[in-house]
Structure 1
Amino acid sequence: MTKRFGRVGQVVAVACDDRGVDIEPFRGELVAYCYRMVGSFHEAEDLVQETMLRAWRARDKYDSTRASVRTWLYRIATNVCLTALEGRPRRPLPSGLGAASTDPGAPLTPALDVPWLQPFPDARSDVGVRADLRLALVAAVQFLPPRQRAVLVLREVLQFSAAEVAVQLDTTVPAVNSALQRARTAFADVGGIDEVTEPDDPEVRAVIERYVRAFEAADVPGLVRLLARDAVLEMPPVPLWYRGTGDYGLFMRRVFDLRGTTWAVRTLTANGQPALAAYAPEPDGGLRLHTLQVFTVTGGQIARNVVFADPVVFETFVLPPKLSLDEFDPER
């Protein structure tokens, strides 16, 4: 029997009924599931580690005639997540905390006491591009009580039956159906999820390429022309957010006035959405990582830009903190 636990890429095998059952193929989807539940990639990885440890300890109790390995693992992962969420505040984005700011010159004071929602690094998971990992959807899930979160994700995203979810949550089918109905009602006001296009869509790529060119040129009018009329700009851990092309443009002018105009950008994806890492000019002529920006593109326009400035997020995406202008290669 083999028992090895580690982060992504390491083999984990569990012995059940004297047979080796490899649970490593489920790691990626379990990380994505735990991320939807808790809103943090690092925490999701840790919760999957705990799930695998509990699976190994409970290997003698697994009965393949009652549930598949996948169903069994999700039951364990759900219990791990629910325990982790006990007594914890939800992870929001700034737009989930109050009204939009009307002052593009407001102080950029971070709220470090808020456990902000974090983005999902597509390149670090084998889960692939998934619409159900969209930031807006994960942010909306955080508003639900933990058990409703679990029911919604298990039923609507992962397509488990009501009977399977009842077993996973140690409850009844009517209770699952009731929780699902309440969760759906809470989601009634979350629109536009199905309208978000994939980052490799030619139209989306063209929009992002034009945005990158305008950003690197500090061309504020060029940026504004790419925005939807009610475009949202938010910047965790700063609790401010703005709505509309006017305030978006004024804020970007402020950024370039404060930080200079010789920026460089690397494109990537996060949460199945187009994203970029923005590097600001330094006095020594180099470039320092400034923000990770995740875009929502609908109808050929940028509808939302979530700008993350938390160093923990940079570490999650394994982004180099500094670059040289001479060495900069946006394809690296």
Structure 2
Amino acid sequence: MSEKPTSEEFLRLADPMRRELLAHCYRMLGSVHDAEDLVQETYLRAWRGYDGFEGRSSLRTWLYRIATTACLTALDGRARRPLPSGLGAPGHEGAAPLSRDDEVPWLEPVPDHLAGVAGGDPATVVTTRESVRLALVAALQHLPPRQRAVLILRDVLRWRAAEVAEALGTSTTAVNSVLQRARAQLAAVEPSLDDPVAPLSPGQRELLDRYADAFERYDVDEIVRLFTDDAVWEMPPFTGWYQGPANIVRLISTHCPAGAPGDLRLVPVSANGQPAFAMYLRDGAVHRRFSLLVLRLAGERVRHVVMFLDLRLFDLFELPELLEASAVK
């Protein structure tokens, strides 16, 4: 048996795959924080077992097998991570009182730079962007863990059924059966997943500028014009979700702590391969971190906004806690 490699040698071979493994664990778990923990566990397990790696598959395939097994173990008995619209309750009236639930393990967004949705091979970037879309990751949460694993390994990573069967300790027939059920359930939960993912058009980039400007000027009439007629707004950990431009603006007017031009500052970021903004709220002479908004566009309108109020996300996105007055328009 060959001598066990040093940690430097192992990391030289395995470390370039860290971002794609994090994206894989994120699809499985719906949490960046949990995914980071599972990637660390994957590397630890791989390092400990590397002297038994016989090379019958590639190192990448071997690491994915370890990561998938670790994710399935972590998901055993754990509640899924939903968005408010995935809880099964009807839409809410914007002026109604808010209901908050901090006990629900809500879905989290992933920064593009952590998931590998930037730079590198263009084809790989497009595939990664499609496979970490917020709508897809939210829909995956409706699948039992093994169905989730089969669908990701087959439809995202493009593994052969036999490879998936070996990784999960089952038969090829069982894998094909599970995949069929998973695809059907996913289509029922989120029919729009077949919509193509395309780079932002010049018109969409202008829309995003108008969106940020409308909120910073607190121009309610302009905000209404930017949404599609069936637009949805949700904001975990609050359990309600809101549909229609007028209802969304009613929600903002009733419950947003901002109320005047200059109260909000929006900083563009990217999450889940989608346009996003870090929103800061005025606090005296500065603006403090307030929420993270992930947008889904339809043509040159906003179709869906998820406002995440978990302030820990600002650290993941490498964003400052506050913006000084000089940084504000």
Same fold (TM over 0.5): yes
Give the match for residue 220 of structure 1: 220
Residues 281 and 287 of structure 2 are in contact (CA less than 8 Å); yes or no, is this contact kept in structure 1?
yes
CA distance in 2, matches of 1:69, 1:229: 48
Q: The residue matched to 1:187 in structure 2 has which SS? A: helix
Shift of residue 201 of structure 1? Answer: 3.2
CA distance in 1, matches of 2:194, 2:209: 23
Give the match for residue 106 of structure 1: 96
Larger proportion of helix: 2
CA distance in 1, matches of 2:193, 2:204: 15
Q: The residue matched to 2:102 in structure 1 has which SS? A: coil
TM-score (norm 2): 0.90
Q: Deviations over 1:181-236 (max 9, x none)?
A: 01011012212224364464323212111111111110111011111101000000
Q: Deviations over 1:265-298 (max 9, x none)?
A: 100110000000111112x221111110000001
Is residue 37 from structure 1 mapped to residue 28 from structure 2 by the alignment? yes
Is residue 186 from structure 1 mapped to residue 177 from structure 2 by the alignment? no
Structure 2 stretches lacking a partner, 5+ long: 119-124
Give the match for residue 7 of structure 1: none
Give the match for residue 105 of structure 2: 115
Shift of residue 241 of structure 1? Answer: 0.7
Give the match for residue 17 of structure 1: none
Give the match for residue 70 of structure 2: 80
Choose 245-254 or 167-176, whichever is displaced more.
Answer: 245-254
CA distance in 2, matches of 1:73, 1:252: 45
Is residue 271 from structure 1 mapped to residue 268 from structure 2 by the alignment? no
Please report the RMSD computed on the Cα atoms of aligned residues, expressed in angstroms: 1.8
Residues 19 and 116 of structure 2 are in contact (CA less than 8 Å); yes or no, is this contact kept in structure 1?
yes
Give the match for residue 168 of structure 1: 167
Residues 136 and 193 of structure 1 are in contact (CA less than 8 Å); yes or no, is this contact kept in structure 2?
yes
CA distance in 2, matches of 1:217, 1:327: 16
Count of matched residue positions in the alignment of Structure 1 and Structure 2 = 314
Give the match for residue 54 of structure 1: 45
Equivalent position amino acid for 2:213 in 1: R
Residues 198 and 204 of structure 1 are in contact (CA less than 8 Å); yes or no, is this contact kept in structure 2?
no
Q: Deviations over 1:95-133 (max 9, x none)?
A: 001334432123334211000000011123434351111
Q: Could you say if the C-alpha distance between residues 281 and 233 of structure 1 is closer, same or farther in structure 2, counting changes exceeding 3 Å?
A: same
Residues 35 and 44 of structure 1 are in contact (CA less than 8 Å); yes or no, is this contact kept in structure 2?
yes
Residues 28 and 148 of structure 2 are in contact (CA less than 8 Å); yes or no, is this contact kept in structure 1?
yes
Moved over 4 A (4+): 196-199, 255-259
Is residue 68 from structure 1 mapped to residue 58 from structure 2 by the alignment? yes
CA distance in 1, matches of 2:115, 2:50: 26
Equivalent position amino acid for 1:34 in 2: C
Is residue 230 from structure 1 mapped to residue 221 from structure 2 by the alignment? no
Shift of residue 244 of structure 1? Answer: 1.0
Q: The residue matched to 2:158 in structure 1 has which SS? A: coil
Choose 187-196 or 22-31, whichever is displaced more.
Answer: 187-196
Shift of residue 167 of structure 1? Answer: 1.2
Q: Could you say if the C-alpha distance between residues 236 and 137 of structure 1 is closer, same or farther in structure 2, counting changes exceeding 3 Å?
A: same
Shift of residue 303 of structure 1? Answer: 0.7
Give the match for residue 305 of structure 1: 305
CA distance in 1, matches of 2:155, 2:196: 18
Equivalent position amino acid for 1:234 in 2: E
User: Equivalent of 2:7, from 3, 7, 11?
Assistant: 3
TM-score (norm 1): 0.89
Structure 1 stretches lacking a partner, 5+ long: 5-12, 15-19
Q: The residue matched to 2:326 in structure 1 has which SS? A: coil
CA distance in 2, matches of 1:98, 1:212: 31
Identical counterparts, % of pairs: 48
Q: Could you say if the C-alpha distance between residues 199 and 220 of structure 1 is closer, same or farther in structure 2, counting changes exceeding 3 Å?
A: farther
Q: The residue matched to 2:74 in structure 1 has which SS? A: helix
Shift of residue 264 of structure 1? Answer: 1.1
